[in-house]
Amino acid sequence: MSALRQPVFITEDEYLTGEELSEVRHEYVGGCVYAMAGTSDEHGTIVGNVFSALRGHIRGRGCRAFVADMKVRLELKDEVIHYYPDVFVTCDPRDSERYFKRHPRVIVEVLSFSTERLDRREKFWNYQQLESLEEYVLVASHYREVTVFRRANGWRPEVFTRPEDELRLASLDFRMPLAAVYEDLDVPPIRPAWPDR
């Protein structure tokens, strides 16, 4: 998801009310609103592959998976943030709000050229502040690489690149081969050069 970083300052209540009516999704960071652009074919396919596998796996286990249109709300000191993760899972019964959740267990972000730095830095740091979060997953869309960060090992990265490797989520007892993550796509095995900007 590409973030078009042109801030407009509003209250959280104004943001939530506007978001219910808006045809364009926006993320909210401490009063700033950022419009979210559309996705690529690769991005949408990966999100669909991961979401459908996760949803099938957790069915009947007291967990729920959400894709792209549900927000995660964070409070960092005096700052309120609403992000739209590509995929996330919550297993917390307190997550009863209709338009956002506060207690995700797993968050998956699919990287694009325009969002990779944001997902690896700002969002990763902010998501770590969620006490409920056990695993944070970054899936490259323009080459084959999945990185998993786990609270249990101090958020150190585990990187997987081979088709026979598996995306493993210990907190959900979930496994998914990288070949399934990238099903229906022909992405290169290594990172291509960054495009001209």
Reported as half-sphere exposure (CB side, CA atoms, 13 A), residue 81 has a value of: 17
pLDDT in tens, 80-137: 999 999 999 999 999 999 999 999 999 999 998 888 888 999 999 999 999 999 999 9
Percent of the chain with pLDDT over 90: 78
Report the 10 Å Cβ neighbour count for 50: 23
Q: What number is the average pLDDT over the span 58-87? A: 95
Give the angle 95-62-124 at the CA atoms, nearest 5°. 55
Among 83, 105, 82, 103, which residue's Cα sits nearest to residue 94? 103
What residues contact 171, with CB distance under 8 A and at least 6 apart? 105, 106, 134, 135
Q: Is the pLDDT of residue 46 over 90?
A: yes
Q: Identify the structural domains of the chain with CATH numbers, from first to last.
A: 39-71+85-181 (3.90.1570.10)
Q: What is the dihedral of CA 98, 100, 105, 108, to 10 degrees?
A: 120
Q: Is the pLDDT of residue 196 over 90?
A: no
Residue 48 has a pLDDT of 98
pLDDT in tens, 153-167: 999 999 999 989 999
Stated pTM of the model: 0.90
Alpha-carbon span 66 to 74, nearest angstrom: 17
Q: How confident is residue 197, by pLDDT bands cut at 50, 70 and 90?
A: very low
Q: What number is the average pLDDT over the span 65-85? A: 94
Q: Number of helices (H) and strands (E), helices first, in the chain?
A: 5, 14
